[in-house]
Structure 1
Amino acid sequence: MADTPKHSVSVAGIVVRDDGRILAVQRRDNAHWEPPGGVLELGETFEEGVRREVAEETGVDVRVERLTGAYKNIPRGIVALVFRCSPTGGDAGESDEAQRVRWLTPTEVEQLMDPAYAVRVLDAIGDGTASRAHDGVQLIPGG
């Protein structure tokens, strides 16, 4: 089993306000717009990880509602579990990881985010649960 590939597990929160706007961050390291999220730490549940990551990156506290999708970055071996959330408190603002934090419309999400990240938001505002693969930017057909 020494040759078994290793994967990293990350979590992300699609935080949707009552007016339908979605919380997004512009990352400091690459200037890309994405939903807040990051690597799940050992010893924490998925929901704990989502709440921690969203709060760390944006200052917003959330209630985790449901799993909306599982996404795999094939080249990097990262599996992301994405959850729809609702804000419960805090004030959105920049952080060590986010140079900008904004509440976007779904149209702005499609315009600002790479397809591999925009689809996570669009899936989360729908009713189902998705399973998709991508190359870090673009979706992989049939993935």
Structure 2
Amino acid sequence: MARTEYYDDPHAPEPNSLVVAASAVVTDDRGRILLQRRRDNDLWALPGGGMDMGDSLPGTAVREVREETGLDVEITGLVGTYTDPRHVIEYGDGEVRRQFNVCFTARIVGGGLAVSEESTEVRFVDPAELDSLAMHHTQRLRLGHFLEHRPAPYLG
């Protein structure tokens, strides 16, 4: 299913749903960041997705990382909350969502790196390489906040 992300675009469609979601910045022992190349828009992104009714937000991040990358992780901290109403995501099935995302930090505790049905590539990326990857503004914002080593989570 196709996915188009809009940011501060007056031509963006009106949202018809609000989704609570979680994502995670997972790093390896060399400081590289786990990213996936999404199948639905061909952009690089942090692993993450929508919360299920039986999930907690940290549990959502753990589940999504496992589903999308094959890795088992443990939540270690909070990067921030991302609730900007100017960010709208349109899907090919007619859903147009406004997404409330909480981005965590996490460390690997098991599993093995694997591509899922949602991605075409999954790998650890050196922070110096991030600028060369095709990525939506909102993903860059989360990664930037993580790399700043902020003393407190971003609240936005």
TM range (shorter): 0.7 to 0.9
Q: CA RMSD in A?
A: 1.6
- Greater relative contact order structure (CA < 8 Å, 6+ sep): 2
Matched, 1:68 2:79: yes
1:119 to 123, 141, 151: 141
User: In the alignment, residue 39 of structure 1 is paired with which amino acid?
Assistant: G
Contact in 2 for aligned 1:106/1:122 (Cα 8 Å): no
Contact in 2 for aligned 1:69/1:130 (Cα 8 Å): yes
User: In the alignment, residue 114 of structure 1 is paired with which amino acid?
Assistant: H
User: In the alignment, residue 48 of structure 1 is paired with which amino acid?
Assistant: G
Structure 1 segment 86-101 matched on structure 2, within 5 A:
86-101=107-122
Q: Distance in 1 between matches of 2:112 and 2:24?
A: 16
- Which residue of 2 is the match for residue 140 of structure 1? none
Query: 1:61 Cα shift?
Result: 0.7
TM, length-normalised to structure 1: 0.82
Structure 1 segment 1-143 matched on structure 2, within 5 A:
7-74=18-85, 75=88, 76-112=97-133, 113-125=135-147, 126-127=149-150, 128-132=152-156
TM, length-normalised to structure 2: 0.76
Q: Which consecutive residues of structure 2, in runs of 5 or more, have no partner in the other structure? A: 1-15, 89-96
Q: Distance in 1 between matches of 2:30 and 2:65?
A: 19
Q: Which consecutive residues of structure 1, in runs of 5 or more, have no partner in the other structure? A: 133-143
- The farther-off stretch of 97-106 and 69-78 is 69-78
Contact in 2 for aligned 1:83/1:124 (Cα 8 Å): no
User: In the alignment, residue 19 of structure 2 is paired with which amino acid?
Assistant: S
Identity within the alignment, %: 32
Query: 1:6 Cα shift?
Result: 5.3
